[in-house]
Structure 1
Amino acid sequence: MNNIKIKKASGVIEDFSSRKLLDSLIRSGTDRDQAGEILEKITSEISPYMSTKRIYRLAQKYLRQFNRATGLRYSLKRGLMRLGPSGYPFEKYFGEIMRQYGYHVDVGIILEGKCVKHEIDVFAANDREVVSVECKYRNNAENAPDVKVAMYVHSRFQDLRPVMKARYPDRTFTGWLVTNTRFTSDAIQYAECMGLRMKSWRYPDGNSLEKMIESKKLYPVTVLSTLNSYQIRKLIDHRIILMKQLAQMDERDIRRLLSITGNKAAELKHQANELCFCE
């Protein structure tokens, strides 16, 4: 398919890239042959100026026809968007990611800096380092955190640094800025110049947010499109935010918590097991 235009979530018009779509299908866990078949099906349905959201839904549909777990993995970006409408579920989710990486974690605490107090979204510590995390949840891709956000967050970390160094003299202190979408190019340029660590969708290469998630299969329960917002909130309120935590629940507890049938609870548990290979 040559020179067909598609529309990104930001409204930008760009050329459709079959290579980018193929790569994303392979990253979801599909083998190359299956990915090629799915690509052919999708490209046959793409029309000029189709939205990337619509293309994503086509990919998700065909992935699920081949393999349901692979389809769920492809739903990760959308699942991160569903960690709203406030930013607090995303903060709890990233705190759980850090906990799974061996950190002791506190979410939503107040720390005294050299000059003023700061509300910290996620505070994580292990034997080697102490990490203060500022989480910026966005419910659409157009509102990417920009350089002003990076500068503000960096200044807060600089105020915390001398206090943290005094309190934890045997550990390094780092500040992280994390978003569920992407950063603007000037935010990245500033962060790389100033040494501010940032994580987002596809950034940095090899150690991005989705890489942290995929390497330990830390998928949020929001990848399940069959869950409504009330059920998601009930799970998160009961500290069930990862699919692997859902997989560890008893079917009867799932049924009672979400007010669903036994068959539905069994299906949710099976999907969770299938995705994180817990069975």
Structure 2
Amino acid sequence: MVTFEVIKATGERETFQLSKLKRSLSNAGAQSNVINSVIKDLEDTGLFTDGMTTQKIYQEAYRLLKKKSIRIAGRYKLKEALLELGPSGYPFEILVSELFKKLGYATKVGSVVKGECVSHEIDVLAEKDDEYLMMECKFHNRQTHHCNVTIPLYVRSRFVDVKNEWIKQPGLQHKTHAGWVVTNTRFTTDASDYANCIGLKLLSWSFPKNNGLKDLIGRTGLHPITCLSVIDRSEKQVLLKNNIVLVRQICDDLQLLTRLGFDRTRAKRIHKEATEILNLT
């Protein structure tokens, strides 16, 4: 393949790495024959040329995948699906809560917690054994919106106020307390450096390596409903406004969609894709 440069979402140019595309397809569950077929089709379309955007390559790869496997296409769409969880950040908070619940934590969303000085609304509280975690969730609807250093600075001040109160309380004083910032996009270098320096935990799309959101969702199977290609934007909003955030919720309750006003034919089609994405068929 001829070497060429692509334009990232940030506007930066970088040398196109076929290995990254193959890895993203593989992570979505595509076998080598499907991966090779998609790449050949992409080459035939003429997209592998200098100055092409990564978004255009992704969109075409997704279109090709949909023809081959709805399940794989839905999983491949994960990064975009997280961006579609808005406009409010609450569905993202639910997703984060459910991820940590799957990891063995007891979680609460949107709790008001008394600090040493003032009270704070905490996006997600998570507790397991001797761990007690305070999580701030920062949802963005564009890949180019990253969390800069002001976010961990702000979260640390809140965490210190809450921790100073927690360590006075029986049952909490001997636990290991940790502050977290979770985002569906990325952190700037300054944000990462500062958080690492003061001991604040960060979780983003691809950080920590092999344990970012994309990895946790892949391992737990907690795919957001925005992965579904068969539902339109207005239908996604109906589901999100009713706190239906996970594809699994649709699979677990056969009557859920009809109770929300979807006709039976439409509900059956949505349920079919949901089961395919979770590989339950």
TM-score normalised to structure 2 length:
0.91
What do residues 69-113 of structure 1 show as CA deviations (whole Å, max 9, x unaligned)? 011000111110001112222112212222333322221222122
The Cα shift of 1:61 comes to 1.5
1:209 maps to what in 2? 213
Q: Does 1:177 align with 2:169?
A: no
1:84 maps to what in 2? 86
Aligned equivalents of 1:44, 1:166: Cα separation in 2: 66
Aligned equivalents of 1:205, 1:278: Cα separation in 2: 28
Aligned equivalents of 2:195, 2:2: Cα separation in 1: 37
The Cα shift of 1:13 comes to 1.8
Greater relative contact order, per chain length (Cα 8 Å cut-off, separation 6+): 2
The Cα shift of 1:205 comes to 0.6
How do residues 127-138 of structure 1 correspond to structure 2 at under 5 angstroms?
Answer: 127-138=129-140
221-230 or 181-190, which deviates more: 221-230
Aligned equivalents of 2:102, 2:249: Cα separation in 1: 11
How do residues 65-144 of structure 1 correspond to structure 2 at under 5 angstroms?
Answer: 65-144=67-146
Number of residue pairs aligned between Structure 1 and Structure 2? 277
The Cα shift of 1:125 comes to 1.8
2:264 maps to what in 1? 262
Aligned equivalents of 2:164, 2:36: Cα separation in 1: 53
What do residues 24-81 of structure 1 show as CA deviations (whole Å, max 9, x unaligned)? 1111111223212212222333143222111111111222222210110001111100
The 3 A distance-change label for structure 1 pair 117 and 60 is same
* Aligned partner of residue 166 in structure 1, secondary structure: coil
Q: Does 1:29 align with 2:32?
A: no
Aligned equivalents of 2:115, 2:43: Cα separation in 1: 54
Structure 2: gaps of 5 or more residues: none
Give the counterpart letter for 1:104 in structure 2. Answer: A
1:165 maps to what in 2? 167
TM-score normalised to structure 1 length:
0.92
Give the counterpart letter for 2:144 in structure 1. Answer: E
Q: Does 1:241 align with 2:235?
A: no
37-46 or 55-64, which deviates more: 37-46
* Aligned partner of residue 44 in structure 1, secondary structure: helix
2:203 maps to what in 1? 199
Aligned equivalents of 1:104, 1:188: Cα separation in 2: 27
Aligned equivalents of 2:174, 2:4: Cα separation in 1: 56
1:220 equivalent among 198, 214, 224 = 224
Aligned equivalents of 2:121, 2:259: Cα separation in 1: 35
Any conservation in 2 of the 1:244–1:278 contact (CA below 8 Å)? no
The 3 A distance-change label for structure 1 pair 155 and 253 is closer
Any conservation in 2 of the 1:104–1:124 contact (CA below 8 Å)? yes
Structure 1: gaps of 5 or more residues: none
Give the counterpart letter for 2:40 in structure 1. Answer: E
Output the aligned Cα RMSD: 1.8
The Cα shift of 1:170 comes to 4.1
Give the counterpart letter for 2:94 in structure 1. Answer: K
1:53 equivalent among 31, 43, 55 = 55
The Cα shift of 1:231 comes to 2.2
Any conservation in 2 of the 1:165–1:172 contact (CA below 8 Å)? no
1:229 equivalent among 218, 227, 233 = 233
